[in-house]
Amino acid sequence: MDYVIRKMQLSDLPGVISIEQAVQETPWEHDAFEKFLEIGQAAVLLVKGKIVGFIMVSIVVDEAEILNLAVAKDHQGKGFGNLLIQQIISLAKKEKVKKIFLEVRKSNHRASKLYKRSGFKLQNIRKDYYRSKSGREDALVFECDL
């Protein structure tokens, strides 16, 4: 399938937020996306000109953190999450990053498998890190050495 990964722009936010609201239990607000674009790095993945996924990363000195990654429900399971992660790993290497971190909900088994396949290793558990509909949920902390 033909796809393009490019830098996220303000004009992408309606499509990005639509995906975010459809797939995240506690989605980011519009303002959070806008503010992040001023300070962080983000990419969108397009198929046939339509945004089907995105990734947001913060790089500080020699460490990076993936803060948000989502793929539209009807495009999940097709390798797009992995493509976005590989894009960030490539960027991180160019920026001389030594480690990439991320947190994921303990209940998000699909994402955990994706991160493990992409070279991330479980490092820690953060108790009650995420808000959830039933209260709080633990986060699994993953790390990838570059």
CATH tag, 4-145: 3.40.630.30
pLDDT confidence tier of residue 1, bands split at 50, 70 and 90: low
Q: What is the helix, strand, coil percentage profile of the chain, to 5? A: 35, 40, 25
Note the pLDDT of residue 25: 85
Map out the domains of the chain as residue ranges.
4-145
User: Catalytic residues, which ones?
Assistant: 103, 115
Q: How many CB atoms lie within 10 A of CB 130?
A: 18
pLDDT confidence tier of residue 130, bands split at 50, 70 and 90: confident
